[in-house]
Amino acid sequence: MKIIVSDSGPIIHLNEVNALEMIVNMGEIFIPLAVAKEVERHKVSLPDEFTIIELGPEELEESKKYMTYGNIHIGESEAIILARQLKADLFLTDDASARLFAETKVLNARGSLGVVLWNLVHKKITKENAKQTLIGLKQSSLWVSDKVFQRALSIIDGL
120, 102 contact by CB (below 8 A): no
Global confidence as pTM? 0.93
**DSSP line for 109-135:** EE-HHHHHHHHHHTTSS-HHHHHHHHH
Cα–Cα dist 22/88, whole Å? 17
CA 126 from chain center: how many Å? 21
- Residue 82, SS3 per DSSP: helix
141, 16 contact by CB (below 8 A): yes
The pLDDT value recorded for residue 104 is 87
In this predicted model, what pLDDT tens digit does every residue of 110-149 receive, in sequence order? Answer: 999 999 999 999 999 999 999 999 999 999 999 999 999 9
In this predicted model, what pLDDT tens digit does every residue of 32-69 receive, in sequence order? Answer: 999 999 999 999 999 999 999 999 999 999 889 888 88
**DSSP line for 13-51:** HHHHTT-THHHHTTSEEEEEHHHHHHHHHTT----TTEE
Average pLDDT over residues 88-101: 94
Task: Kindly report the average pLDDT of the chain as a whole number.
Answer: 95
Average pLDDT over residues 4-22: 98
The H or E element that residue 6 is part of is strand 3-6
Catalogue all structural domains in the chain, each as residue range(s) with its CATH number.
3-112 (3.40.50.1010), 113-158 (no CATH)
